[in-house]
């Protein structure tokens, strides 16, 4: 098993005049290649912060985030980070905040394809190809974000990530703004895409039932630390920590 990203004693505080928040309080985590890991925990425990650090959107105050290429995202030069960044993608919770409202979808996606070195005459076919991988089509290219549903926009966000040939995708509560049917569709799509494209997935959610549908392993976070890691079934059936027990108790029974 190759490790794609290895975090050691990662710490991050948000400082303000009134108080400091220790969002990450010494996180150790190995993310294997071609693996789906769910990161679960109650609101405010540090999931989004951890996700952002692992794609280089933020830097930690201390610790190491070692990529398989030998680059430490926590301490490397900006130039090393820039060349690695496209392969490390993050999709966010709010689909309507993920695209500029005044741009048609092709206007948002084309610059991404261009940055990937795709030649101008090939751009549209590359965009259509990436949309088709997520169940959308050329017909959606001319739409504004407001003309797409939340579920369609989340799929467009995934299409944008796929354009960068990602090695790793952080999906941060990507289905929490959707109804159950769209949620189900999106999680199935993630499974299909992983089987085809073999990226590592960090699936962030506060829903342990959803985590089991998507991920092989589950990490439970509590107050800035990872307190439990195991196979999804194992954590669901026999949670070891108080934090994991609380999450299991929060799953609606019909999901079992
Ligand atoms: N930009 C920021 N400035 C100050 N505090 C922040 C900032 N971002 C996050 N925090 C605080 O850091 C802690 C961890 O936040 P984070 O967003 O990582 O949690 P989370 O597990 O993703 O929560 P949720 O499930 O609600 O999305 C929280 O206490 C939060 O209030
Ligand atoms: Mg969050």
Is residue 15 exposed (0-12), middle (13-18) or buried (19+ Cβ within 10 Å)? exposed
If you compute the radius of gyration of the chain from its CA atoms, what whole number of angstroms results?
18
pTM of the predicted model as reported, rounded to 2 decimal places: 0.95
CA-nearest residue for atom 14, ligand 1, is: 46
Would you say the CB of residue 43 lies under 6 angstroms from ligand 1?
yes
Q: Is residue 57 helix, strand or coil?
A: coil
Closest CA to 162 of 184, 131, 140: 131
* For residues 9-33, average pLDDT: 95
Q: What is the CATH number of domain 3-100+167-255?
A: 3.40.50.300
Spatial distance between the Cα atoms of 108 and 95, rounded to a whole number of angstroms: 14
Would you say the CB of residue 21 lies under 6 angstroms from ligand 1?
yes
pLDDT band, residue 209 (cuts 50/70/90): confident
Instruction: Report the residue count for the chain.
Output: 256
Which range among 134-138, 155-159, 207-211, 231-235 shows the weakest confidence by mean pLDDT?
207-211
54 within 8 A of 7, measured Cβ to Cβ:
yes
Is the model's pLDDT at 199 over the cut of 70? yes
Taken in order 40, 42, 48, 53, the sign of the CA dihedral is negative
Report the separation in Å between the CA atom of 205 and the middle of ligand 2, taken as the mean of its atom positions: 8
Determine the pLDDT at residue 37. 97
Report the separation in Å between the CA atom of 83 and the middle of ligand 2, taken as the mean of its atom positions: 26
Determine the pLDDT at residue 252. 72
Is the model's pLDDT at 122 over the cut of 60? yes
Q: Hey, where are the domains in the chain?
A: 3-100+167-255
Compute the mean pLDDT over every residue in the chain, rounded to the nearest whole number: 94
Helix axes 123-133, 105-115, angle to 10 degrees: 110
pLDDT band, residue 206 (cuts 50/70/90): confident
Would you say the CB of residue 200 lies under 6 angstroms from ligand 1?
no
Would you say the CB of residue 48 lies under 6 angstroms from ligand 1?
yes
* For residues 103-122, average pLDDT: 96
203 within 8 A of 247, measured Cβ to Cβ:
no
Q: Which of 10, 20, 41, 48 to mutate to test the pocket of ligand 1 (most atoms within 8 A of CB)?
A: 48
Q: Which residues of 115-133 are buried (b: 16+ CB within 10 A; e: fewer)?
A: eeebeeeebbebbbebbeb
pLDDT tens for each residue of 83-97 = 999 999 999 999 889
pLDDT tens for each residue of 129-151 = 999 999 999 999 999 999 999 99
Contacts of 254 (CB under 8 A, 6+ apart): none
Strand order in the sheet with 20-32: 20-32, 3-15, 62-67
* Cα separations in angstroms, 46 against 39, 43, 148: 10, 8, 30
Is the model's pLDDT at 254 over the cut of 70? no
* For residues 61-72, average pLDDT: 97
54 within 8 A of 65, measured Cβ to Cβ:
yes
* For residues 214-230, average pLDDT: 95
């Amino acid at each position: 098993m190759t490790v794609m990203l290895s975090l050691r004693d990662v710490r991050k505080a948000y400082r303000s005049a009134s108080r400091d928040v220790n969002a990450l309080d010494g996180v150790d985590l190995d993310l294997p290649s071609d693996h789906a890991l769910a990161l679960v925990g109650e609101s405010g425990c540090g999931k989004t912060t951890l996700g952002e650090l692992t794609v280089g959107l933020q830097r930690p105050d201390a610790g190491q985030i070692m990529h398989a290429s030998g680059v430490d995202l926590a301490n490397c030069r900006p130039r090393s980070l820039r060349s690695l960044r496209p392969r490390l993608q993050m999709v966010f919770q709010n689909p309507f905040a993920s695209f500029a409202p005044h741009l048609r979808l092709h206007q948002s996606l084309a610059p991404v394809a261009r940055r990937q070195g795709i030649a101008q005459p090939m751009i549209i076919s590359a965009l259509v190809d990436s949309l088709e991988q997520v169940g959308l089509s050329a017909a959606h290219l001319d739409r504004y974000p407001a003309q797409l549903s939340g579920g369609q926009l989340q799929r467009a966000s995934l299409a944008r990530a796929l354009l960068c040939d990602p090695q790793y995708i952080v999906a941060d509560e990507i289905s929490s703004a959707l109804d159950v049917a769209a949620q189900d569709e999106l999680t199935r799509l993630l499974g299909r895409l992983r089987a085809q494209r073999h990226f590592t997935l960090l699936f962030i959610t506060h829903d342990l039932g959803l985590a089991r549908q998507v991920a092989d392993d589950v990490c439970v976070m509590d107050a800035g630390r990872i307190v439990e890691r195991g196979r999804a079934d194992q954590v669901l059936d026999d949670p070891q920590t108080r934090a994991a027990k609380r999450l299991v108790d929060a799953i609606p029974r019909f999901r079992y």
